[in-house]
Chains A and B, each alone.
Chain A
Amino acid sequence: MQSTEPLKRTPLHTEHLAAGGKMVPFGGWDMPVQYSGILAEHTAVRERVGLFDISHMGEFLVAGPNAEKALNGLLSNDVTKLAVGQAQYTLMCNHGGGVVDDLIIYRLEPSLYLVIVNAGNIGKDFAWMKDEATVTAVIDDRSERFAALALQGPAASKLSDFSAALPHFHIQRHTVFGKECWVARTGYTGEDGFEIFCEATDAAHLWRTLLEKGKAFGILPCGLGARDTLRLEMCYPLYGNDLSDETTPLEAGLGKFVALDKGKFIGSDVLVEQKAKGVERKLVAFTMTDKSPPPRPHYTIHANGGKVGEVTSGTQSPTLGIGIGMGYVETATAAAGTPIEIEIRGKKFGAVIQKKPILKKGT
């Protein structure tokens, strides 16, 4: 999205410049795409530990006696199944079943939820939730006050004492190196790790301390480049690439986060019908079988001599050393194992549809 607005800076902007971060615009923010290099940072997270600034993400608090009901009408997953301290991945749909945003909600207290939204969608989501909530709840955009860090990798749990009692996909209040934070065992990399939500003014202290403590484990500060290759190996969708107002969660293969049995929510009528009829296109993962340039968004996907879809995300997998991607294809060609071709600068290269995730891990 191009805009003439000045780019926003996270509370860690000066830390990024000091660490040699190469800054790029992302979702309206001036963010580091890399420091030492995407491949090195990717490997650090897969094998050791990496630290990301995710302060560009938006944080809303939803509170009040009707908070659960308000969220349940706005979101696809079943909010009533969420116990205090638990996290849930969910979609916010429009009335046509398209995706307004994909988000994580945390139940902090019985009537208090933390909602994490994508950086580029903060304004849109906030307006949508305010306008579309069918019962009254306090919906507060705290994005400016919150900073957030993601500590990710197999060694992440060795850096502090907050891991011991914190199960996967849960959140707890913790004092981290002297600062009060919400610490969640969540992430966007496929590795064990934590997302730490803190006061903006505490972010630099936490950033420096985590990098210092992580030295013994080979920590690297990591940018959006590695964040993208890590999530794509796991087939986690990226809003704006793989999800949009025009695509439904069922088309995106996110049906398990759509609780059609919970009662009505925005978009549910369309989704119920789509589920009954079956989707016409599906978001699939693929790997290149030919040596090829890395697949990229908007390259066309071909099968049986015709165009069947388009790439929405693509890269060279640092872990596998081959081109990987995701894209929407006609349902008839969406089964794992189907041979397809990706057209790159007028030339077609062989690929094959894979079961998600592309990177099969033990965990």
Chain B
Amino acid sequence: MNIPKNLKYAKTHEWVRVEGDIAVVGISDHAQHELTDVVYAEMPAIGAHLEAGKECAVVESVKAASDIYAPVSGDVVAINEELSSAPELLNQDPYDKGWMFKVKMSDASELNELLSPDDYAHHIGA
């Protein structure tokens, strides 16, 4: 299982890459593997306010719809438009081309609640 060292992880399998006060969010390699072939991604609206731990997006495979939870609070400043026509990027490249949305964090201390790569590996039993 690929768990990049430069990211933080939520127990609910989202990853966060910190770029200044912006959090880039996606789903982990483990998550995309468990979800199986993703065929649809429903994104939060740009400008929407997210609260850490709350549902904010939906990723759908052939078999099931799965909620995505905001790993941090803040306003959505960008979404990955490419996922609308190519949701399979979530499977093929979950940490780069498959990023989902960017949040302007309202409370950077929430990052401390997220898991380190080692702790996330332990969490998923990798």
Interface residue ranges, A against B (CB under 8 Å): 22, 33-34, 37-39, 225, 228-229, 291-294, 296, 315-316, 318, 345
* Cβ-closest chain A residue relative to B62: A38
Q: Chain B contact residues: over half helix, strand or loop, or mixed?
A: strand
* Cβ-closest chain A residue relative to B87: A316
A292 to B60, CA, bound (A): 11
* Residue B51 CB within 8 A of the other chain: no
Q: How big is the B interface, by class?
A: 10 to 19
- A316 lies within 8 A of B36 (CB): no
- B62 lies within 8 A of A229 (CB): yes
- A39 lies within 8 A of B65 (CB): no
- B40 lies within 8 A of A225 (CB): no
Contact flags (1/0) for B32-52 with A, using CB distance below 8 Å?
Answer: 000011011010000000000
* Cβ-closest chain A residue relative to B84: A291
Interface residue ranges, B against A (CB under 8 Å): 36-37, 39-40, 42, 58, 60-63, 65, 84
Given the complex, which residues of A lie within 8 Å of B60, measured CB to CB? 293-294, 316
| CB of A57, distance to nearest CB on chain B (Å) | 20
Given the complex, which residues of A lie within 8 Å of B42, measured CB to CB? 293, 345
| CB of A362, distance to nearest CB on chain B (Å) | 25
Given the complex, which residues of B lie within 8 Å of A315, measured CB to CB? 62-63
- B36 lies within 8 A of A294 (CB): no
A296 to B65, CA, bound (A): 9
A100 to B31, CA, bound (A): 39
* Cβ contact of A318, chosen from B40, B62, B65, cutoff 8 A: B62
- B65 lies within 8 A of A316 (CB): no
* Cβ contact of A38, chosen from B36, B40, B58, B84, cutoff 8 A: B36
- B58 lies within 8 A of A293 (CB): yes
A293-B40, A294-B39, A316-B39 known; A39 and B58 CB under 8 Å?
no
- B58 lies within 8 A of A316 (CB): no
Given the complex, which residues of A lie within 8 Å of B37, measured CB to CB? 37-39
7 cross-chain CB contacts under 8 A: A33-B63, A34-B36, A37-B37, A38-B36, A38-B63, A225-B63, A296-B65
- A39 lies within 8 A of B62 (CB): yes
Given the complex, which residues of A lie within 8 Å of B58, measured CB to CB? 293, 345
- B65 lies within 8 A of A225 (CB): no
Given the complex, which residues of A lie within 8 Å of B39, measured CB to CB? 294, 316
Given the complex, which residues of B lie within 8 Å of A37, measured CB to CB? 36-37
Given the complex, which residues of A lie within 8 Å of B62, measured CB to CB? 38-39, 225, 229, 294, 315-316, 318
A315 to B64, CA, bound (A): 9
* Cβ contact of B36, chosen from A225, A228, A291, A292, cutoff 8 A: A225
A225 to B62, CA, bound (A): 8
A291 to B40, CA, bound (A): 9
A22 to B61, CA, bound (A): 14
| CB of A351, distance to nearest CB on chain B (Å) | 15
